[in-house]
Amino acid sequence: MPESSASERVKAISNQLAPSLPPIVKVAPDGPRVAGKVVIITGANSPLGIGRASAHQYASNGAKAVYICDFDDTYLASHKAEINASYPDVDVHVRQFDAADEKAVKEVVDDALNRYGRLDVFFANAGVIGPNVLFTEADGEDFMETFRVNTLGPFLAAKYAAPAMRKTSPSKPTSSGSIILTASVAGIRSNAGATPYSASKAAVISLAQTMAFQLSGTAVRVNAICPGLIETGMTSIVFEAARARGTQGKIGQLNPLKRGGHADEIARVALFLGSDEASYVNGQAWAVDGGLSAGHPYVQNKLA
Ligand SMILES: NC(=O)c1ccc[n+]([C@@H]2O[C@H](COP(=O)([O-])OP(=O)(O)OC[C@H]3O[C@@H](n4cnc5c(N)ncnc54)[C@H](O)[C@@H]3O)[C@@H](O)[C@H]2O)c1
């Protein structure tokens, strides 16, 4: 028997034993999860914050450049030094500006485009808690300031990031990008924050929904992350007070994981949303809250 027909018969027999399968369409590389991407993060100064933890995740997963931005620059240089020491191949840029300052937001986006010819991720994460009083006690100015930072900030980030992400260059031949807005479980329903804060975060969820549709066909995605109770600069007073009282075991008692969250638990979701792994995730509000927003209020041990 000629050699070729023998090998054809062996192939036919092995096909019968193990039928060949179609290749899996893979949407993301198996290597570093955000390799080569250019990332801007606001609200990155706070040592305990979600922004700093996210900068580390993007850097450790192969980002080309990470812009760490905040209006308070107390720790930004230290964050840069820390990231450079661990991930020397990542360009870290420090920028001090107000996340709701339109000119400054445009400038940082322009800088990324001019320097790298691309922008891939804008994580609009800066936020303030606003007046922590009953709505009948809150004044209009404080209400508007909460919206200025928490809602106008993400709006401006998306306004300038979206066209920048559509730009192509030799290093990025097709339009694509991920705009990630930090909302909150307070923006989903009541009892997780004061009225101005909650309303400002509900508006952020709406931004993600409407913008995702207005960017139809561009491969630029917009999503919101809704953290639950996370120990950061914003909430450390709650955690510290509980520790001082010896009631730290009660923190997070309303969620089924029965604990508060870590900034890194939000950062890893931001990493996923910023990566090509999330290429079909668009226009959504991602609750990262230990399960808190999955349930209705309940009396412990009374329900199954
Ligand atoms: N910690 C939580 O439990 C929790 C829950 C839900 C949502 N969030 C949201 O997460 C985001 C990050 O907050 P965090 O928890 O890391 O708190 P954080 O206070 O540790 O960090 C917030 C950062 O935003 C910066 N910032 C505030 N106003 C700014 C402005 N106008 N311009 C630029 N930077 C500004 C602050 O300087 C700070 O570095 C916020 O949008 C917050 O509303 C937090």
Pocket flag, ligand 1, residue 42 (CB < 6 Å): yes
Q: Nearest CA to 124 among 38, 219, 15, 39?
A: 39
For residues 53 and 263, is the Cβ–Cβ distance under 8 A?
Answer: yes
Q: Would the pTM count as exceeding 0.85?
A: yes
Dist. CA 150–CA 155, nearest whole Å: 9
- Write down all domains in the chain, each with its CATH number in brackets: 32-231+261-291 (3.40.50.720)
Pocket flag, ligand 1, residue 232 (CB < 6 Å): yes
Pocket flag, ligand 1, residue 187 (CB < 6 Å): no
Pocket flag, ligand 1, residue 125 (CB < 6 Å): yes
Mutation choice for ligand 1 from 98, 182, 238, CB with most ligand atoms inside 8 A: 182
Q: Nearest CA to 227 among 148, 88, 129, 97?
A: 129
Mutation choice for ligand 1 from 45, 50, 56, 129, CB with most ligand atoms inside 8 A: 50
pLDDT tens for the chain, residues 1 to 304: 455 677 787 676 666 777 899 999 999 999 999 999 999 999 999 999 999 999 999 999 999 999 999 999 999 999 999 999 999 999 999 999 999 999 999 999 999 999 999 999 999 999 999 999 999 999 999 999 999 999 999 999 999 999 999 999 999 999 999 999 999 999 999 999 999 999 999 999 999 999 999 999 999 999 999 999 999 999 999 999 999 999 999 999 999 999 999 999 999 999 999 999 999 999 999 999 999 999 988 877 776 5
* CB-based contacts of 291, cutoff 8 Å, min separation 6: 255, 256, 257
Mutation choice for ligand 1 from 42, 48, 201, 234, CB with most ligand atoms inside 8 A: 234
Dist. CA 190–CA 174, nearest whole Å: 41
Q: How many CB atoms lie within 10 A of CB 10?
A: 10
| Ligand 1 closest atom vs CA 266 | 10
- The set of catalytic residues is 197
Cα–ligand 1 centroid distance for 33 (angstroms): 25
**From atom 23 of ligand 1, which residue's Cα is the shortest distance away?**
43
Pocket flag, ligand 1, residue 205 (CB < 6 Å): no
Cα–ligand 1 centroid distance for 128 (angstroms): 6
